[in-house]
Structure 1
Amino acid sequence: MGEQVRQGSIGVREAGPEDAEFLVDMLLAAFNWTGEERYTRKQILKDKSTSLYVAGWQREGDLGVIAVDLAGPSGLQIPVGAAWVRRFPARNPGFGFVAEDVPELSVAVLSHHRGRGIGSGLIRSLAPRLAGAGITRVSLSVEHGNPARALYERLGFTAVTEQEGATTMVADVNTLIQSVRS
């Protein structure tokens, strides 16, 4: 499985084209972070402002990692979370868009696995891959009240703009890599 970050029986592997459906699940989990079903899978896939995060995965420049439970039945690795980046053009930006050369990060962990360090492990596993791809900064959008904001701040993300109900944050990839060592 190559490089792994372990949190108990959790490992991390590269995301590939075969993970497209799971990334839709993770996008749904990210949008429904409150635990209420504010969005359905159909709504996310139909709406161009949300489907752009996963449509056509894995296109050139898409990078991601998948957290897997290594203790699945019969040795199966069950996906439990994901972190991935994608670039967007200015004419069709994501919610956390800051520039065409700054990919937007999406992170989600299944609700019953949250609070175990999986999200930070995913970001820390993704950071060296970003640097290897020549990416120097990443952005994200986090809704007001989402407890994940504290994680992002701990890892080095800083707020750059406030929109109605959300904050766009940016981190230097080298800062994220340093957070791995601390």
Structure 2
Amino acid sequence: MKPEEYPLLSDFLYEAIFIPVGMQKPNRTIIHQPELALYIEDFGQADDICLIAEIQGKAIGAIWSRIMNDYGHVGEDTPSLAIALFEEYRNQGIGTVLMKAMLQKLKEAGYRQVSLSVQKANYAMHMYEKAGFRTMRENPEECVMVREL
């Protein structure tokens, strides 16, 4: 992702919010709450990495990582991961391609592992498991998962 594209992260952060079937989407202002805003605030720091999926020049998905004290935080040397696709591009394998590319990029950057947080009801949990993520800790609603690199 190029610096001039960083504003797109607002759209992808909103898309990354898991909405269970039958629930109404929250107001877009939710991404300004501190616990969500930290995923994109001042993006472009030394440890920040983002890859974009494009179709015909249009960004349709993103995966990004940064070291932050988020829901999936496991340590100061472990980046946390976020991934999102616009709804019409989900369930087509694009997320899997993005995930594989990001895992390789993080490995090349010298990280030993990466973490994420996912709600147990989120269908993406299966993709994370297939990509080699394992549950490190959990509560009744969500899991923190780690993938060794």
Which whole-Å CA distance do the structure 2 matches of 1:48 and 1:164 have between them?
Answer: 23
1:171 equivalent in alignment to 2:147: yes
Aligned pairs for 1:152-171 within 5 A: 152-171=128-147
Q: Quick one: percent identity of the two aligned structures?
A: 31
Which whole-Å CA distance do the structure 2 matches of 1:78 and 1:34 have between them?
Answer: 27
The offset of 1:164, in angstroms, is 4.5
Q: Please name the residue that 2:31 is paired with.
A: 44
Aligned pairs for 1:8-47 within 5 A: 15-34=1-20, 36-45=23-32, 47=33
8 Å CA contact 2:18–2:122 kept in 1: the answer is no
* TM-score relative to the length of structure 2: 0.93
Aligned pairs for 1:128-167 within 5 A: 128-167=104-143
8 Å CA contact 2:19–2:25 kept in 1: the answer is no
The offset of 1:149, in angstroms, is 0.3
* TM-score relative to the length of structure 1: 0.77
Which whole-Å CA distance do the structure 1 matches of 2:140 and 2:26 have between them?
Answer: 18
RMSD between superposed Cα atoms in Å: 1.4
1:69 equivalent in alignment to 2:50: no
The offset of 1:41, in angstroms, is 2.6
Which whole-Å CA distance do the structure 1 matches of 2:3 and 2:24 have between them?
Answer: 27
Which whole-Å CA distance do the structure 2 matches of 1:37 and 1:134 have between them?
Answer: 40
Unmatched 5+ stretches in structure 1: 1-14, 71-76, 174-182
Which whole-Å CA distance do the structure 1 matches of 2:41 and 2:112 have between them?
Answer: 24
1:113 equivalent in alignment to 2:89: yes
User: Tell me, what secondary structure is at the counterpart of 1:152?
Assistant: helix
The offset of 1:101, in angstroms, is 0.6
Residues paired across the two proteins, number: 148
Unmatched 5+ stretches in structure 2: none
Which whole-Å CA distance do the structure 1 matches of 2:72 and 2:18 have between them?
Answer: 17
8 Å CA contact 2:134–2:146 kept in 1: the answer is yes
